[in-house]
């Protein structure tokens, strides 16, 4: 016991001696900390002094030190003043910089506050969203990228929120995109049964895929390319000098197609004419074309006199004649196909070969026809639209988004494959695609960027291949060459016999010579 007592007393004496030593060296530590602070301040001032002023600064400092040294007891007073200043500055350790606020807390708190007016139930006893609430009560999971941008979020909303109304959904989507950033697209997955909303940022689609032969079956048309969510199928494409696998948006046409006709609407300059050229280049190896250019800008002049292209019309007179021939050709095909089935013989090749009617901005011709008191060209599409699937006639219409009100009801009712290109609001997107769009578009979109909906399927993102007008001198040479390489020639195309029908006595405005 005595030995243990001696050890305890020795330990207490050592601790006391250490405390006294610490108290003894405390002033030295204090002054040393202050001197280091003065040295850092001097280094900072010297680094901030311009080079042209450093010489005069050194001279003035030396003069001041010399003046202090010449004064009686000057060095002693200067040393005392320096020690006192160092002790004053070093009396407390330098405070550590305040930690940067968490980006997730800042952005999620702002998003929670922005959603409160729309999702908050002020009569609810325990609301998920309230003015004094916290985002962790409603947000289940979230994810940010390295740049601090929101990439994924899952939140809960009250059961009384009207999640079945497109307008209510659109307000929530606009708020989320405004707080998360409008530079990207966001996919909104509404789980109405569980009152949950999953939000995910979508990666941009590839914009460097040019016109080229695509690996597809006969009757399949590649409208463009999407992401893994929009298509589980991939095809090899030439992209940036290498071969890559990209998921396409494939539109299936033909006698058994569920969506035999297509309507594409887009803002000016966002690629509806490029989409029409891309479809034409894919259809020509297996079918024949009639092209109506209602805008009259010559966007499809590269197809003039090409094998398989019956005519390229730009005038109202030529368009009416071409569409009258198309209606009669549809009836002739139906008669020949029914006769072949009745006699049990194969149908002639000229009625089984696909016929494509491509109309670019037909509403321009409709206005001109109304002004002149003539028949609307859209009325002549009634027969090809209603009986085109059985007669192997496919109608593709591309027009401006602002002209959607001038499209005839019969065209709207029979074109179940839809494409929307360019920026559009929620109401316009729903009107163009037929269903609400649960993808919030980015503020800035490239040309050819939009959405596609085939029949009753969910709309998917779409990027149309770069298919420029080869006669456009402002287009890149590589893009023009890619389109020229796909244009058919007489020695490379096998044509089926075509039933001759004279369209007009006058030459077409889009091509010289007689029209047949």
Binding-site residue ranges for ATP: 266-273
Question: Measured between alpha carbons, how far is 162 from 159 in angstroms, rounded to an integer?
Answer: 8
Please work out, in degrees rounded to the nearest 5, the angle formed at the alpha carbon of residue 99 by the alpha carbons of 94 and 105: 165
Phi-psi region of 244 (alpha: psi -120 to 50; beta: other; left: phi over 0): beta
Q: Within a 10 A sphere around the Cβ of 295, how many other Cβ atoms?
A: 18
* CA–CA gap between residue 314 and residue 303 (Å, rounded): 13
Would you state the structure tokens that stand for residue 317, as one six-digit string? 């007179």
How many whole angstroms separate alpha carbon 460 and alpha carbon 328? 36
Q: What are phi and psi of 252, to 5 degrees?
A: -95, 125
Q: How many helices (H) and strands (E) does the chain have?
A: 13, 17
Binding residues: 266-273
DSSP label of 515: B
DSSP 317-360: HHHHHHHHHHHHHHHHHHHHHHHHHHHT-PPPHHHHS-EEEEEE
**Three-state DSSP class for residue 433:** helix
Backbone angles phi and psi of 290, in degrees to 5:
-125, 120
Q: Is 6 helix (H, G, I), strand (E, B) or coil?
A: helix
In whole angstroms, how far apart are CA 25 and each of 18, 21, 30, 316, 351? 11, 6, 9, 102, 106
Structure tokens at 310: 């019956």
Contact 468, 475 (CB under 8 A): yes
């Amino acid at each position: 016991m005595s030995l243990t007592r001696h050890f305890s007393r020795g330990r207490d004496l050592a601790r006391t001696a250490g405390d006294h030593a610490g108290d003894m060296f405390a002033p030295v530590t204090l002054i040393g900390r202050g001197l280091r602070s003065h040295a850092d301040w001097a280094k900072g001032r010297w680094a901030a002094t311009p080079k042209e002023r450093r010489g005069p600064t050194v001279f003035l400092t030396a003069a001041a030190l010399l003046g202090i040294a010449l004064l009686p007891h000057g060095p002693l007073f200067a040393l005392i003043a320096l020690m006192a200043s160092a002790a004053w500055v070093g009396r407390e350790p330098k405070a550590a910089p305040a930690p940067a606020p968490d980006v997730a807390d800042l952005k999620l708190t702002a998003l929670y506050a922005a959603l409160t007016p729309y999702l908050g139930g002020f009569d609810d006893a325990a609301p998920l969203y309230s003015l004094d609430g916290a985002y962790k009560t409603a947000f289940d999971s979230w994810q940010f990228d390295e740049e601090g941008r929101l990439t994924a979020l899952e939140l809960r909303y009250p059961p009384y929120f009207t999640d079945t109304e497109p307008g209510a959904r659109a307000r929530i989507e606009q708020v989320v995109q405004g707080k998360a950033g409008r530079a990207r697209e966001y996919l909104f997955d509404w789980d109405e049964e569980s009152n949950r909303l999953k939000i995910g940022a979508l990666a941009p689609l590839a914009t460097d895929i040019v016109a080229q032969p695509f690996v597809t079956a006969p009757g399949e048309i590649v409208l463009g390319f999407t992401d893994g969510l929009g298509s589980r199928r991939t095809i090899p494409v030439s992209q940036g000098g290498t071969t890559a696998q990209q998921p396409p948006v494939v539109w299936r046409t033909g006698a058994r197609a569920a969506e035999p006709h297509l309507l594409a609407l887009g803002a000016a300059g966002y690629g509806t004419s490029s989409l029409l050229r891309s479809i034409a280049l894919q259809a020509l190896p297996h079918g024949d074309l009639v092209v109506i250019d209602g805008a009259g800008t010559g966007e499809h002049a590269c197809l003039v006199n090409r094998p398989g292209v019956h005519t390229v019309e730009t005038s109202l007179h030529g368009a009416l004649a071409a569409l009258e021939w198309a209606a009669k050709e549809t009836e002739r095909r139906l008669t020949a196909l029914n006769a072949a089935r009745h006699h049990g013989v194969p149908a002639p090749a000229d009625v089984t070969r696909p016929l494509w009617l491509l109309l670019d901005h037909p509403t321009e011709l409709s206005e001109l026809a109304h002004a002149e008191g003539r028949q609307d060209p859209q009325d002549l599409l009634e027969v090809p639209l209603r009986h085109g699937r059985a007669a192997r006639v496919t109608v593709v219409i591309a027009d401006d988004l602002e002209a959607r009100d001038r499209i005839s009801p019969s065209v709207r009712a029979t074109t179940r494959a839809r494409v929307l290109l360019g920026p559009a609001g929620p109401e316009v997107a729903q009107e163009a695609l037929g269903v609400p769009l649960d993808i919030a578009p980015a503020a800035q979109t490239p040309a050819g960027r939009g959405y596609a909906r085939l029949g009753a399927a969910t709309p998917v993102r779409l990027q149309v291949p770069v298919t420029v007008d080869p006669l456009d001198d402002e287009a890149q040479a590589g893009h023009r060459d890619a389109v020229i390489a796909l244009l058919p020639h007489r020695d490379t195309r096998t044509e089926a016999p075509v039933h001759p029908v004279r369209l007009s006595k006058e030459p077409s405005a889009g091509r010289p010579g007689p029209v047949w």
